[in-house]
Amino acid sequence: MMLKLKGLIKIAILFIIGSIGSTNLLAIHNSHKANALVVKDSLEIRILPLKKDGAFGKKNPVKYKATIRNRYKVEQEGSLEYIIRNEANLVVMRNMLDLKVAAGKTLESSFEIPFTKDGVYTIVFVVNMNNFNGELASIFSYRNTEQPSNAAKTNPYEYTSTIENLNAISSAEDIPQNMDHAEPVQPAEEEEVHEEGEIILSVKPKNADGVFTDGNNITYLVALQNKYKTKQEGTLNYFLKTDKGEIIGEKSIPIKISKMGELRLKIKIPPVTEAGVYGITVALNLTTYDDTTKYAFAYNINQIKTAFHVPSDFENFWERAKADLAAIPPDYKIILDEKKTTKFHKIYKVEMTSLEGVKIFGWLTIPRLPKKFPVIVGLQGYRVELDPLVYDSYVGFNLNTRGIEKNWKSFNPENIQPLLINIEDPEKFVYRGIYMDCVRAIDFLYSHADMGFDLDRVLVFGGSQGAALSLVTAALTGNRINTLIVDNAIFCDFHESYNLLSNELYNNFPIKHLVDYANENPPITIKNLLDNLSYYEVQNFMPMINCSVLYAVSLLDPLAPAATVFAAYNKLRASTKEKSEIYVAPNLGHEVTMDHRYYQLIWMSEKLVRKRRNIGK
């Protein structure tokens, strides 16, 4: 459906969404006039799903195309935020993209939304451009045509819901994200060509994972397809940036593409010598098309190192915390949930008392088969409440620490960022309790082996905060865990994250909240906060981990700066690294690929094969 301007309006802002399909166009809203067009001077905005019916799936990832035509005589700058809500109206994903359109130019950009969960969703686009604020909503559906999670169950030996479970735990965090400057714009492939045409840009590192070991030979393969019916001329500029955002190299390449033509380039990046994560900004300025996209690569990841900030009493601090926890009777209550229990799985709500007498709970799921099962523990992301973790071949135990909404009020009546609760005192900081909640969960398992737990085989996994909690739990529980699967661990190094703030990508959770807190609460300084957080930096726990780790890093992660995540990994003991693996996604933000999810399934299976030695020591 295309909306056109009439009357006195000089120039319209067109919000065109989901033009085909009755389910797709829901509403058009903006701050000035609901359900109608709002007129500003010369700005025309269209956002269309690349698949007209809004029905996406594995073969047709969620992609939209934004067309912003700026007829102003001045540059327009702002942001496009998208918010995806499920049928229960809960936010399941949100992200923000930068917009900048030069005067008289048109920005046409296809962007992929990394969303892969089956269902029907509402997507709201919020556009904020200089003097304009507006939003609109649309519906899209996503269905894995090959149904990976269920299909995986058809292996008669592996009746697991692994992929679903990994996704559920590792995604959908309620982390407030700011400007996601790094969101790569992925070109639409094999999609319809709109009348206006477009430029399909593909920028890929020569090494698929974006990791290079030869600083003199870092190469990108660039492919341009001109879908316009006119010749395109202009430049492709790229800027090489350090992780701090400093430009250390740039080049401008003249571009000429015939109508409907293609152009392939091989770009050799200026040599780099220092181990680290580097950004590449590619700006395409053509006759009728402008686009800026961001990429990243990592050089010599084994040598990415950051300083430890280990307080002198670090070990003692956590020994005391564990002693405090041990002094509190756990008061386990194992309650069969009749509603959730099925013919094939018993599902229990397990309540327990943790540090400071706080009640926490987890969901325990046990297949209704005799004998013992390996145990898989899921730890949650920031402010995420986990549901039962159901496997057919494993016991699942999803822990909800004190950080969830339902039991949050007593800690956080003013509903401030949980990260900031008691941050001024490391002894009272909320994460002292949260870390101990995880230890208590492991205590629970080890005190209830008779429920069918094969404690020779225990896996802990999580993404983001869940990854941080997994790593810390492994460090604080000795040799009680066989293996970890962690994605995009946050809290690795608050100090280094602060040092990277000059890169706008990282002006984000969690470090942004710390800076804001310090600014708003003098005489507290950011140094005070960072000193306090030294007790909680994940990197300080890394040398204490004995078990194998499958460790995912995304180079464009705005919440877990990749350099800090690499550096934390490099702080594992050599013997631990030997049995661990690192996976790098070059063009992703705070997420991992589905391919990695499948690899996690293999890892899970392999690492739970062998009994762990020296249990409990």
Partner 1 sequence: MRKPICIILVLLLTAPSLKADWPVGKRRTTLLPGYSFFYSDANYDRRWNRTKFPKGNSFVTHIYNFSLQHGIGRTTDIFMNIPYLSQRSLNKDSLRTAAGVGDLTIGIAQHFSSKDQHRHFTAKASFVVPMYQKDSITSLGYASRALGLEVNYSFSASAKAFAIIQAAYTQFLDEAEGPQQYTYTGTYGRKLNAFSMMTFSFMHQISYSPDKSFNPNLLANKSFINGRFSISYGRRITRTIMPMVSISTVLYGKNAGGGFGAGISLITRLP
Binding site for partner 1 (CB under 8 A): 146-148, 150-159, 343-345, 367, 369-373, 392-393, 594-595, 598-599, 601-602, 605-606, 609-611
Comparing CB distances to partner 1, the nearer of 157 and 406 is 157
Comparing CB distances to partner 1, the nearer of 456 and 531 is 456
- What's the closest the beta carbon of residue 55 comes to partner 1, in angstroms? 18
Comparing CB distances to partner 1, the nearer of 498 and 599 is 599
* Rounded alpha-carbon distances, angstroms, from residue 91 to 88, 176, 552, 562: 9, 11, 24, 26
Q: How far apart are CA 91 and CA 531, in angstroms?
A: 34
The one-letter amino acid code at 615 reads I
Comparing CB distances to partner 1, the nearer of 148 and 378 is 148
Comparing CB distances to partner 1, the nearer of 118 and 174 is 118
- What's the closest the beta carbon of residue 376 comes to partner 1, in angstroms? 13
Comparing CB distances to partner 1, the nearer of 197 and 367 is 367
* Partners of 175 in the β-ladder: none
- What's the closest the beta carbon of residue 595 comes to partner 1, in angstroms? 5
- What's the closest the beta carbon of residue 205 comes to partner 1, in angstroms? 19
What beta strand segments (E) does 9-152 contain? 11-13, 25-30, 38-40, 43-49, 55-57, 63-70, 76-85, 91-101, 106-112, 119-129, 132-143
- What's the closest the beta carbon of residue 531 comes to partner 1, in angstroms? 45
Phi, psi for 195 (deg, rounded to 5): -55, -40
Scored b (16 or more CB within 10 A) or e, 335-363 reads eeeeebbeeebbbbbbbbbbbeebebbbb
Comparing CB distances to partner 1, the nearer of 561 and 586 is 586
Comparing CB distances to partner 1, the nearer of 77 and 387 is 387
What is residue 26's three-state secondary structure?
strand
- What's the closest the beta carbon of residue 365 comes to partner 1, in angstroms? 11
Side-chain-side CA neighbours of 271 within 13 Å: the count stands at: 4
- What's the closest the beta carbon of residue 368 comes to partner 1, in angstroms? 8
Q: Where are the alpha helices (DSSP H) in 273-394?
A: 314-326
Comparing CB distances to partner 1, the nearer of 411 and 599 is 599
- What's the closest the beta carbon of residue 344 comes to partner 1, in angstroms? 4
Q: How far apart are CA 478 and CA 431, in angstroms?
A: 19
Comparing CB distances to partner 1, the nearer of 47 and 395 is 395
- What's the closest the beta carbon of residue 211 comes to partner 1, in angstroms? 19
* Rounded alpha-carbon distances, angstroms, from residue 39 to 36, 136, 534: 10, 15, 52
* Rounded alpha-carbon distances, angstroms, from residue 229 to 47, 108, 127, 287, 485: 21, 15, 29, 12, 49
Provide long-range contacts, Cβ within 8 A and 24+ apart, for 7-13.
9/37, 9/39, 10/39, 10/41, 10/42, 11/39, 11/40, 11/41, 11/42, 11/43, 11/44, 11/71, 12/37, 12/39, 12/44, 13/37, 13/38, 13/39, 13/40, 13/43, 13/44, 13/45, 13/132, 13/134
- What's the closest the beta carbon of residue 156 comes to partner 1, in angstroms? 5
- What's the closest the beta carbon of residue 342 comes to partner 1, in angstroms? 8
What is residue 124's three-state secondary structure?
strand
Comparing CB distances to partner 1, the nearer of 68 and 604 is 604
The DSSP symbol for 419 reads: G
